Structure 1
Amino acid sequence: MPNRPTPAQAWSALIEGNARFVRGEMEHPSQGVDHRAELSTEQNPFAVVFGCSDSRVAAEIIFDQGLGDLFVVRTAGHVVDTTVIGSIEYGVNILNAPLVIVLGHDSCGAVGAAAEALTTGRMPAGFVRAIVDRVIPSIVHLPRQAGADSADSADRADNADSADSAGGDPVDAGRPMLVPTAEILGREHVRHTVRMLQSYSAGLSDAVAQGRCAIVGLEYTLADGRVRLVESSGPLAL
């Protein structure tokens, strides 16, 4: 990696690393003794990863990176607060990372709890409730019943929007897309988080507008280890 990679170069490095992880051919870069000593005086991560605290979604592992490569911020359900935004701003504006990843995953307990709260009115006890409270705004406008028609319509619309922005045809247009409602809710939470970071942070919004940084929302699939693009903003060669 160059000392200051472009957002597209940083994106490519992460996607290549995830492909190695999926194949089981990890290189485990940036983990040698000499490199560890070099990092003792400074750090130059090429990406900020804001992800869920889930023990199965460790950023350095699933992207096959090492010490000093990623500036990682994690909360349960990748929920945003002021300290999260400040940490991401530090990675972009102080450490000059050209890429921010919002990393969600399937079967997210925080998203599931938020959906249950909206459907049944039952909220978790203690400070776990604060996590659910921060997920609810992402999904409150979406159907909460597991009805195939509403779920399929929402996902078809999402695919059509993605294809339109990329200049292509909708994926599997005209075919039913039997995606469980829980998956739709999780993806919408990732989208909402990407947009929230830019609307809440003038620093991040300016970095994207100036082409210094891109923000990308990804969903990680626990079973096969792949990341899927959900949302992007900024200068990426997709």
Structure 2
Amino acid sequence: MAGVHPSAVVEDGARIDPTATVGPFCVIGAGVEIGPEVELKSHVVISGQTTIGAGTTIFSFAVIGEVPQDLKFKGEDSRLIIGERNRIREHVTMNGGTEGGGGVTKIGDDGLFMAGCHIAHDAMIGDRVIVVNSAAIAGHCVLEDDVIVGGLSGVHQFVRIGRGAIIGAVTMVTNDVIPYGLVQAPRGELDGLNLVGLKRRGVARSDITALRAAFQMLAQGDGTFHSRAERLGAETDSDYVREIVDFVMGESDRHFLTPR
């Protein structure tokens, strides 16, 4: 097979695009589909019902699509869908889904998953997400677009992290994080906004000002966090602030990290 090293093991049924490259000593399971221009370095293991999108590169010793680390998993249909142009570094693990979470783990496009990080069953990962070395994303988590999770951090199961939020290194996140939030400290605390990320993306000064005012209201306004967000939604004309309000008002299995 063109592009497949002679030492690689490819099970019958695997579908590999002719433009893909499979390096030495890789193991590709029967249910795997590898898209155009995908590159697998040496010693990559891909199993299960796993789809790898075009232009993705997977580095040595990554294990992709193995069964979930969930004692409730009983061998039911389990899928992993990885989007396009992702960079998945050495020793990364990504598991398929479980019946309790819809059966699918999904990774968006243009992500960077650094060495040794873990994406657990039924997680939903957006586009342009960065998960730094040895960070762990637990089952059923949702990471929206442009999220950054710092090294050696952990995200508790069922937690949602809103678009553009950043999690500092060595942080445990146990509750939902609003879009554009900045979380740090060992037991993650919402400590402000990801202003650097907003500026890098070219967000208008007026929107950043509106976000800062909204954060202040969420931190110090009257009533519960939920009621403050509800009032904020009635008053704002900023799409960015509205995104935070919609996130807070949305369905969740966790509480929120609130401003300190």
TM-score over 0.5 for the pair: no
TM-score bin, normalised by smaller chain = under 0.3
The structure that has the greater radius of gyration is 2
The structure in which a higher percent of residues are strand is 2
Which TM-score applies when normalising by structure 1?
A: 0.23
Q: Which has the higher contact order (CA 8 A, sep 6+)?
A: 1
Q: TM-score, normalised to structure 2's length?
A: 0.22
